[in-house]
């Protein structure tokens, strides 16, 4: 059964305690592929994308753009062709939009091409409130009129460049504003914008289409709108969150892994924070080497104080790697404070780790104290979101015995064929239909 087919539930049956070895390449960045697929609607010419992760979220967005007139064909396992000659602002399937948060990324491109779009509220991970106000405020400043009811209604007869200060450095709001701005009349300055690797990748894609974008990789971008956009060929960069997941996996299973073409230029903060947990990686050209037999001793702050790992906007430690760091810390010697600032429900998965034997104190919705190392026991688990699901998979792989992970299709929204790829390294992850 292909991982991207259907909506049936999936279980992983995981035999823990296995040591892994070998090398693998990370998938294309999920959070780059989604806005780039949406941005392909900005031109009526053919766009060819490579290194596209074949995951559930991508498949859902491809289905969505097909429903409004775009043609999308897979040219190979990870190559996608998109041609959007005859777009129409049709009503989007509410059930399909509810499956992924990325449906909101259609707002900017569809405003630019069709002047309107009606979007049902987006879905995605249940990790607390995920506000969309920043999208609305940015697009309003570029000339859009927005109505909010059971659905979001966007209208714009004429997009015009503006000096826009985002009220928070939201990744998807930045991406929507970028797509609208490159088609607006005049110059747009985006201030306090996000600068994550996937935002940079979208900017490079827009440049390949003919847009003029300055300040890529910074928190202030200038976009000169009104230039004709053409088709292009673009390769999506590696997923730095997946690389962080592999670092944690290698460490807790005492495995030696090589991550090929790891996008090492985007790993500085990730590597620095894993070093605080006593996990040292080596960079060899474009590859990342994670040696076995790591020290795994948490490094106290100067004066012997308990250290803190906290997520912050890029280029600081990514919020999406926090769940991975928490389960990794359960296997490290010492005490560390984990401070998750962005989502008020993301840490609630730690009760599953506690049931497995982890020593964790959940101080409040944003902070947890982890004391390790703890011997984890196998358990029956439930994947609440993509990153917590991957963290549970990592926990199950270092636990004693056989664990069952329900709702594993959540993991597959962000990790391509993860069971097959891990099994090739020596893991034992059996993917089966959910049993009622």
Residue 335 CA to residue 326 CA, distance in Å, equals: 11
pLDDT band at 5 (very low <50, low <70, confident <90, very high): very low
Residue 171 CA to residue 192 CA, distance in Å, equals: 11
pLDDT at 103: 86
pLDDT at 99: 75
Residue 310 CA to residue 135 CA, distance in Å, equals: 25
Which two three-digit tokens encode residue 367? Answer: 């902070």
Residue-averaged pLDDT of the chain: 93
Strands 220-224 and 145-148: unpaired
pLDDT at 88: 87
Q: In a 10 Å sphere around its CB, with 0-12 CB exposed, 13-18 middle and 19+ buried, how is residue 219 labelled?
A: middle
User: Dihedral through CA 361, CA 364, CA 366, CA 369, nearest 10?
Assistant: -20
In the predicted structure, residue 128 carries a pLDDT above the cut 70:
no
In the predicted structure, residue 436 carries a pLDDT above the cut 60:
no
Integer angstrom CA distances of residue 368 from 148, 174, 363, 364, 389: 36, 30, 5, 7, 18
Residue 56 CA to residue 412 CA, distance in Å, equals: 6
Work out the average pLDDT over 263-283.
98
Strands 163-165 and 359-364: unpaired
185 φ/ψ angles, rounded to the nearest 5 degrees: -80, 125
pLDDT at 331: 98
Same fold, 10-26+238-433 and 30-235: yes
Q: Is residue 125 annotated as a catalytic residue, yes or no?
A: yes
pLDDT at 125: 41
- Contact by Cβ (8 Å): 13, 429: yes
pLDDT at 322: 96
Which two three-digit tokens encode residue 307? Answer: 């250290």
Give kind and range of the element (H or E) at residue 322. helix 322-329
pLDDT digits (tens, 9 = 90+) for 43-66: 999 999 999 999 989 999 999 999
- Contact by Cβ (8 Å): 183, 138: no
User: Percentage of the chain with pLDDT > 70?
Assistant: 96
pLDDT at 129: 44
Between 96 and 192, residue with greater pLDDT: 192
In the predicted structure, residue 178 carries a pLDDT above the cut 60:
yes
pLDDT digits (tens, 9 = 90+) for 320-372: 999 999 999 999 999 999 999 887 778 999 999 999 999 999 999 999 999 99
- Max Cα–Cα distance, the chain, nearest Å: 65
Question: Of 57, 91, 95, 125, which is the active-site residue?
Answer: 125
What is the CA angle 63-69-75, rounded to 5?
55
pLDDT at 1: 34
Query: Strand ranges (DSSP E) for 110-151?
Result: 116-119, 145-148
Between 256 and 128, residue with greater pLDDT: 256
pLDDT digits (tens, 9 = 90+) for 367-390: 999 999 999 999 999 988 899 999
What is the CA angle 274-411-271, rounded to 5?
15
- Contact by Cβ (8 Å): 243, 26: yes
pLDDT digits (tens, 9 = 90+) for 221-246: 999 998 999 999 999 999 999 999 99
In the predicted structure, residue 126 carries a pLDDT above the cut 50:
no
pLDDT at 133: 87
In the predicted structure, residue 4 carries a pLDDT above the cut 70:
no
CATH number for the domain formed by residue range(s) 10-26+238-433: 3.65.10.10
Work out the average pLDDT over 78-105.
86
DSSP secondary structure letters along 51-78:
S----HHHHHHHHHHHHTT-EEEEEETT
Residue 15 CA to residue 417 CA, distance in Å, equals: 18
- Going by the DSSP 8-state scheme, the letter that residue 193 receives in this structure is -
Give kind and range of the element (H or E) at residue 284. strand 282-284
The yes or no reply on domain 30-235 and CATH 3.40.50.300 is no
In the predicted structure, residue 104 carries a pLDDT above the cut 70:
yes
pLDDT at 149: 79
Residue ranges per structural domain of the chain? 10-26+238-433, 30-235
User: Percentage of the chain with pLDDT > 90?
Assistant: 83
């Amino acid at each position: 059964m292909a991982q991207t087919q259907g909506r049936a539930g999936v279980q992983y049956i995981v035999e823990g305690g296995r040591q892994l070895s070998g090398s693998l390449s990370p998938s294309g960045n999920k959070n780059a592929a989604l806005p780039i697929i949406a941005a392909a609607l900005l031109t009526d010419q053919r766009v060819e994308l490579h290194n596209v992760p074949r995951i559930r979220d991508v498949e859902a967005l491809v289905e969505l753009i097909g429903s409004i007139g775009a043609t999308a064909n897979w040219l190979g396992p990870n190559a996608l062709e998109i041609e959007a000659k005859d777009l129409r602002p049709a009503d989007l399937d509410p059930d399909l939009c509810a499956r992924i948060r990325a449906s909101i990324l259609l707002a900017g491109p569809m405003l630019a091409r069709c002047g309107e779009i009606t979007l049902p509220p987006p879905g995605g991970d249940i990790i607390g409130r995920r506000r969309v106000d920043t999208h609305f405020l940015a697009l309003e400043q570029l000339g859009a009129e927005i109505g909010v009811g059971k659905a979001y209604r966007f209208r714009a007869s004429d997009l015009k460049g503006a000096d826009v200060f985002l009220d928070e450095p939201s990744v998807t709001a930045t991406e929507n504003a970028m797509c609208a701005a490159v088609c607006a009349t005049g110059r747009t300055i985006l201030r306090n914008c996000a600068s994550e690797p996937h935002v940079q990748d979208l900017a490079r894609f827009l440049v390949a289409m003919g847009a003029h974008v300055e300040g890529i990789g910074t928190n202030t971008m200038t976009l000169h709108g009104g230039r004709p956009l053409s088709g292009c060929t673009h390769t999506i960069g590696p997923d730095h969150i997946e690389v962080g997941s592999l670092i944690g996996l290698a460490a807790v299973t005492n495995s030696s892994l090589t991550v090929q073409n790891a996008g090492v230029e985007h790993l500085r903060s990730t590597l620095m924070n894993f070093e605080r947990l006593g996990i040292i990686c080596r960079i060899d050209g474009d590859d990342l080497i994670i040696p076995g037999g790591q020290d795994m001793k948490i490094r106290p702050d100067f004066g012997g104080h308990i250290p803190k790992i906290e997520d912050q906007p890029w280029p600081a430690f990514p919020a999406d790697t926090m769940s991975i760091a928490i389960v990794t810390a359960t296997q490290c010697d010492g005490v560390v404070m984990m401070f998750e600032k962005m989502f008020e429900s993301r840490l609630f998965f730690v009760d599953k780790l506690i049931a497995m034997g982890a020593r964790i104190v959940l101080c409040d919705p944003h902070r947890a104290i982890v004391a390790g190392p703890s011997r984890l026991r196998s358990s029956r688990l439930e994947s609440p979101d993509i990153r917590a699901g991957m963290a549970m998979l990592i926990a199950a792989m270092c636990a004693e015995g056989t664990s069952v992970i329900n709702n594993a299709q959540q993991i597959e929204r962000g990790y391509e064929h993860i069971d097959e790829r891990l099994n090739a390294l020596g893991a034992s992850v059996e993917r089966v239909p959910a049993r009622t």
